[in-house]
Amino acid sequence: MIQSIDYAAIASPLILALVAGLVLLLDVFLPRRPGTRAVLGYVTLAGVLAALAVVAAQAVQGARLATFCVPARPAGPLRPREEPAACSFIVDDLTLIFAGVILATAVVIVLLSMTQLARTPAPAAVRTSLDPSLSTPANTGSTSASSGPTPTSTGPTPASARPIPASAGPTPAGTGPVHAATRPIPAGEWYFLLLCALTGAVTLPASRDLIMLVVALELVSLPVFALTALKRYDARASEAALKLFLVSVVSTAIMLFGVSLLYGLTGSVHLERIAASLNAPLSAMTAAGPVTTDATSAAALSATAVPATAVPAVVLTVAVVLVLAGFAFKVAAVPFHFWAADVYQGAPVPVAALLSVISKAAGFAGLILVLTIALAGQSGLWAPIVAVLAALTMTVGNLLALRQRHAVRLLAWSSVAQSGYILAALSVAGKTAAAASIAYLVIYAAMNVGAFAVVMAAGRAGERNELEDYRGLAFREPFSALALAFFLICLAGLPPGLAGLFAKVVVFREIVQGGDGLLAVVMAVNTVIGLYYYIAWTARLFTPAVAPGAKPAGRGAIRPAVIAVAVALVVSLAFSVAPQIVLSAAG
């Protein structure tokens, strides 16, 4: 069978992939001059913008594009019923809004990356000579010259990878690692990996079969391990990368198990065909094969109000739970959340932003696709699970965030909590529910990436990036401080951060409408808990510093990050004034 590929449909991931290759080539062939890194950054930025333009054009055009299709097949001896035509790659409203969010966020992240990469070669040569043991690459314990090798991180298994005390901690976004001075983060690899992850992230919301979903999800995840570890010889970064790798691989394995069960149950990988097969009338079931009719499955069938299906209910339940668990890892939902803070803190700030927004958006895209297309008829089965996950996620995330003193760790747990709000809307299981959670995700993306951008712009190299370091920021850098205050208040969901408020209202409305009063109350309480740490951080910005802070780093190095902050701020303000943009796009 010869596939005809609609290149217009796959234009945006294609552009990203080609630019990724181009960046790699340029990195090889361009002379090693200081300007080269910036050139690579601009090429990446151009690629992302081009992909974003394609997405925008597709959105304006409004056409539904599909490619990688298989034709309909009539019922035959092996097939109990006719299989409709199905496509693996579909560009529709859902695809476009996710792709738009991901690419717009990517613009900010590329800008942050330019700051990160420009910042890396910082003066640390003296330290190298002071501590000769650091020159061996095997010694991953070199966190900073002052604290010396940290004992905890020599055996980077998840069990031993507890957070290093902050007092002896290295600088996650800074120049602490001595070898970062001699070996800066390689720009070519960085941008290549970033573009690969973006390719996956843009492909994922367009995927309409399980294989493609898994492949795209892996394409998002795999480059991120490497990106996290690119700060070589930084113990915390290595630890973070390994932790992320292990967690991600485990979650992929779990999800693959669930996916294979789904495939085995339904005989198809296309989401629509799965849905059709699961919702098939009972008569087809007997033709499909033997059915377990033991008491438990019958009970499960009736209890979960699953319509009479062709598949054993227990197996289906297991498959659904496994798939959910796999995605829960990706979106850092409780109880699969524990990696978040350590990884966010260890990774460079742009990668943390990528993880908290793009990776999360991709995860939610996959989750929404699977739940609302393939398992649409099984909402009685998964909705309670999602509701419990949501309640746990927001509560645990908020409670953990309360105790944080490190800016990025706080954002990590807060983004876990925010995942809970997104899941909460999803748990209502309806067409508008998915729209509500997408709307929340879009607004969340703008405000959260903005917060990360300020952390990048204001968290100067060499500082610990603790919350205390933000004390009095309003007097040193009024723009950054006001922007951060706005983002935080948005995240808390209070005016003047109307975007966050309306996002929460949308979710609340969905839950109240769905009649899940308990979840609504849990979320209301969580909003208050969340407010505490957001407002505490915001208040620090305006509290005079005990000692006058260091002068801001050089303007030149900061500028892309400041542009990133400005972009996020403008978008958040627009969402605050006219949230209808998001609501109509998502709905």
Partner 1 sequence: MSVVLIALLAVPLAGAVLLLLTRAEPPRWYGAAVSGLTLAAAVALAVAFDPGRAGRAQFQVDRPWIPGLALRFHLGLDGISLPLVLLTALLTFLCFVYLTRHRPEGGRFRALVFTLLILEVGMIGTFLALDLLLFFVFFEIVLVPMYFVIAVWGGAGRGPAAVKFILYTLLGSAVLLLGLLLIWVHTGTLDMVRLAEAHGSGIPRAAQVLAFLAVGLGLAVKAPMWPLHTWLPAAHTEAPTVGSVLLAAVLLKMGTYGFARVAIPVLPEGAAVVAPWLGAFAVAGIVYGSLACLAQRDLKRMIAYSSVGHMGFVLLGLATLTPVGINAALFGNIAHGLITGLLFFVVGAIKERYGTSEMSRLGGGLLTRLPYIGSLLTFAAVASLGVPGLAGFWGEMLALLGAFHPAPTQPRPLFLTFMAIGGLGTVLTAAYFLLMLSRVTHGHPTEPVRSPEPLPPPDPAPSSERTLPAEPGSSSGYGLPSELGSSGPHGLPAEPGPERSGVEQEPLVALAETGTEPRVRVSARPGEPAATGVPSESAASGVPSEPSKAPVEPAAEETAAAGGEDSWSAAPERDAATRETVEREVSLAGAGKGTVPPGPPVVSGRPRDLTPYELAAWTPLVALTLALGLWPKLLLSLTDPAVQAFLGVR
Q: SS3 of 207, please?
A: strand
Binding mask 540-559 for partner 1 (x = CB under 8 A): --xxxx--x-----------
Residue 479 touching partner 1 (CB under 8 A): no
Q: Which of 126, 253, 536, 550 binds partner 1 (CB under 8 A)?
A: 536
Segment interacting with partner 1 (CB under 8 A) among 4-12, 177-185, 198-206, 519-527: 519-527
Which run of H or of E encompasses 465? none
- Pick the closer one to partner 1 by CB: 307 or 496: 496
Closest CA to 508 of 496, 490, 495, 526: 526
Q: Kindly state the smallest distance separating residue 178's Cβ from partner 1, in Å.
A: 33
Binding mask 560-579 for partner 1 (x = CB under 8 A): ------------------xx
Q: Which residue has the tokens 């054009």?
A: 57
* Buried b or exposed e, range 361-380, using 16+ CB within 10 angstroms: bbbbbbbbbbbbbbbbebbe
Separation CA 428–CA 508 (nearest Å): 11
* Buried b or exposed e, range 155-176, using 16+ CB within 10 angstroms: ebeeeebeebeeeebbbbbbbb
Q: Which of 166, 505, 566, 574 binds partner 1 (CB under 8 A)?
A: 505
- Pick the closer one to partner 1 by CB: 400 or 523: 523
Cβ atoms of residues 153 and 141 within 8 Å: yes
Separation CA 474–CA 410 (nearest Å): 20
Separation CA 435–CA 362 (nearest Å): 15
Separation CA 473–CA 482 (nearest Å): 9
Q: Kindly state the smallest distance separating residue 480's Cβ from partner 1, in Å.
A: 14
Q: Kindly state the smallest distance separating residue 92's Cβ from partner 1, in Å.
A: 19
Question: Residue 466's beta-bridge partner residues?
Answer: 406
Segment interacting with partner 1 (CB under 8 A) among 88-96, 138-146, 150-158, 488-496: 488-496
Query: Cis (ω within 30 of 0) for the bond into 496?
Result: yes
Residue 287 touching partner 1 (CB under 8 A): no
Binding mask 413-442 for partner 1 (x = CB under 8 A): --------------------------x---
Residue 326 touching partner 1 (CB under 8 A): no
- Pick the closer one to partner 1 by CB: 119 or 471: 471
Residue 211 touching partner 1 (CB under 8 A): no
Segment interacting with partner 1 (CB under 8 A) among 195-203, 250-258, 398-406, 475-483: 475-483
Q: Which residue has the tokens 């990996």?
A: 193
Listed in sequence order, the residues at least 6 apart from 132 whose beta carbon sits closer than 8 Å to its beta carbon are: none
Q: Kindly state the smallest distance separating residue 495's Cβ from partner 1, in Å.
A: 4
Which run of H or of E encompasses 66? strand 65-70
Residue 513 touching partner 1 (CB under 8 A): yes
Q: Kindly state the smallest distance separating residue 468's Cβ from partner 1, in Å.
A: 15
- Pick the closer one to partner 1 by CB: 107 or 494: 494
Residue 495 touching partner 1 (CB under 8 A): yes
Q: Which of 282, 518, 525, 570 binds partner 1 (CB under 8 A)?
A: 525
Q: Kindly state the smallest distance separating residue 478's Cβ from partner 1, in Å.
A: 7
Helix axes 498-514, 478-492, angle to 10 degrees: 10
Segment interacting with partner 1 (CB under 8 A) among 201-209, 306-314, 382-390, 494-502: 494-502
Listed in sequence order, the residues at least 6 apart from 532 whose beta carbon sits closer than 8 Å to its beta carbon are: 402
Q: Which residue has the tokens 């361009």?
A: 30
What's the number of CA atoms in the CB half-sphere (13 Å) around residue 368? 30
Identify the DSSP state of 427. Answer: T
Which residues in this chain contact partner 1 in the complex, by CB under 8 A? 439, 472, 474-476, 478, 482, 489, 494-496, 498, 501-502, 505-506, 508-509, 512-513, 517, 520-521, 524-525, 527-528, 531-532, 535-536, 539, 542-545, 548, 578-580, 583-584, 587
